[in-house]
Amino acid sequence: MDELDTAILESLQADGRRSNRDLAAALGVAPSTTLERVRALRARGVLTGVHASVDLAKLGRPVQAMVTVRLRPQSRQIIQEFRDFVLQLPQTLQVFVTTGTEDLLVHVAVPSTEALRDFVLDSVTKRREVAGVRTDVVFDHLENHVVAPIPRA
């Protein structure tokens, strides 16, 4: 990763719909150079896709929460099966498998606090492997959409 690769990544993360010609002009290089670099970043797995951001409130899902889940018995198979189960639920935005007291952190978005309660009680705690759940409502959710590589020392 050099400075040009980093600049390309920052620009595409800010606007993934940007054309190759616009990207090249903004970076002051030839379009063939940016095209070659973007292809190389994809081939190396640095660029993994382009995604649209949505306004959850405008989709009728203004309430977000972080649901931590503790599983028992604890095994790779049980954790992976629960992870896959919760990921396919429509309320789920993200799933993190973690260390510590809880095994998973599930980021959800729902229409109301009642819907959040129903999600936890009807979807999560009905599973036998669930030994404990804690739910924290999210007041503000901010994302850093531009992630740059950390320079090597």
In the chain, where are the structural domains located?
A: 3-43, 57-138
Gyration radius from the chain CA atoms = 20
Residue 147 has a pLDDT of 85
Residue 52 has a pLDDT of 83
Q: Which residues have a Cβ under 8 Å from the Cβ of 63 and sit 6 or more positions away?
A: 109, 110, 111, 112, 113, 115, 116, 137
Whether the per-residue pLDDT at 69 is higher than 80: the answer is: yes
Single out the residue of 85, 118, 83 nearest to residue 104, CA to CA: 83
Q: What are phi and psi of 68, to 5 degrees?
A: -95, 140
Domain range 3-43, its CATH number among 3.40.50.970, 1.10.10.10, 3.40.190.80, 3.40.50.2300 = 1.10.10.10
* DSSP annotation of 62: -
Residue 78 has a pLDDT of 97
Residue 112 has a pLDDT of 98
Single out the residue of 56, 121, 67 nearest to residue 94, CA to CA: 67
Determine the Cα–Cα distance for residues 59 and 50; give it in Å rounded to an integer.
20
Whether the per-residue pLDDT at 135 is higher than 80: the answer is: yes
Whether the per-residue pLDDT at 56 is higher than 90: the answer is: yes
CATH top-level class of 57-138: alpha beta
Determine the Cα–Cα distance for residues 59 and 70; give it in Å rounded to an integer.
30
Question: Helices 3-14 and 20-27, interaxial angle, to 10°?
Answer: 130
Is residue 8 within 8 A of residue 34, CB to CB? The reply is yes
What is the pLDDT averaged over residues 45-51?
91
Residue 65 has a pLDDT of 98
Residue 152 has a pLDDT of 76
Residue 75 has a pLDDT of 95
Question: Token pair for residue 43?
Answer: 């081939």
What is the pLDDT averaged over residues 102-120?
98
Determine the Cα–Cα distance for residues 57 and 2; give it in Å rounded to an integer.
39
As a whole number, the mean pLDDT across the chain is 94
Full-model pTM: 0.85
Whether the per-residue pLDDT at 50 is higher than 90: the answer is: no
Determine the Cα–Cα distance for residues 66 and 74; give it in Å rounded to an integer.
21
